[in-house]
Amino acid sequence: MTSDQTILVAGAGGFIGGHLVADLLKKGHTRIRAVDLKPLPGWFQRFPQVECKVLNLQELGNCLEAVNGCDVVYNLAADMGGMGFIEKNKALCMLSVLINTHLLMASKELGVQRYFYSSSACVYAGYKQKNNDIPGLKEEDAYPADPEDGYGWEKLFSERMCRHFREDYGIRTRVARFHNCYGPFGTYDGGREKAPAAVCRKIIAAKLAGKSEIEIWGDGQQTRTFMYVDDCVKGIHRLMDSDVVEPINLGSDEMVSINQLVDIVEKIAGVKMKRNYNLSAPKGVRGRSSDNTFIKKSLGWAPDTTLREGMKKTYAWILKQMTKK
């Protein structure tokens, strides 16, 4: 990519989108258009030198306005959240298909050169994720299809849209399947937060209130891999500069249980909490981790920030926000 290209970041007011805009600026890009549905005060990161627009990208007319004059599109816009949100809002998650569909239509109409779509590990087949200790999921494990109901189906369908717009219309689409991205400048309360931020918030809140117990969703034995946001942004750039046309895993392969995640945050916080397990809470699949064989082979790199290193930075940022309040 060159600095004279005009770049659209859809979902720029969100967690990963804000970090992506910040990194594009660091790389010397000056022609950036940032778009999000949220009112500007609700954006996680805003930059005065960036053109910011508040638009509902589920509507084709707004997508045409957003894409007009752009050479490159990054689509990170979606109505989503952690497991507590996506299990209870399947229809809202499915409606995000309108964003990707209309952005692709606008990109075709207006001659966009390259297009990035942020997919999710939720596309992977549920029957391959029934045990805690599972092998890492390879890209081909998305088929035969059995994705997360609602959110996962939308992501899988949108991946296919990207493929066919590339094959039929020549748009250079790239697709990354994010595995549980976390870090500063993101949601940590309100119902849309993911496990790393939620665990930090619970432990900080308990400390501030002088309490010594927290609630854990599920039995704590379910396993995941978590990717620090700097690695996510780095992976997006590497993929966009590559010739990889198939969807690719973008996630850490450092698999931990939720109990192990809590252990890490407790050590960072210098506390030990009693854990009350809520077995009726949303908890998702039993095990999910990223197999990074393909990304290492094709990009010569994979996310490498350790969970402890990333959680230390995340905890410090959430602590700062909560003590401000």
> Is residue 151 flagged as an active site residue?
yes
Of 74, 115, 117, 151, which is the active-site residue? Answer: 151
Sign of the C-alpha dihedral, residues 186, 191, 196, 200? positive
CA of residue 148 relative to chain centroid, distance? 15
Sign of the C-alpha dihedral, residues 172, 147, 149, 164? positive
Q: Are 291 and 227 in contact (CB under 8 A)?
A: no
- 3-class secondary structure, 301: coil
Give yes or no for a cis peptide into 41 (omega within 30° of 0): no
Query: Among 51, 41, 43, which residue's Cα sits nearest to residue 17?
Result: 43
Contacts of 237 (CB under 8 A, 6+ apart): 23
Amino acid making up residue 6 = T
Amino acid making up residue 137 = L
Angle at 208 between CA 202 and CA 210, to 5 degrees: 100
Element (H, E) at 200: helix 195-208
Write out the catalytic residue numbers.
Answer: 151
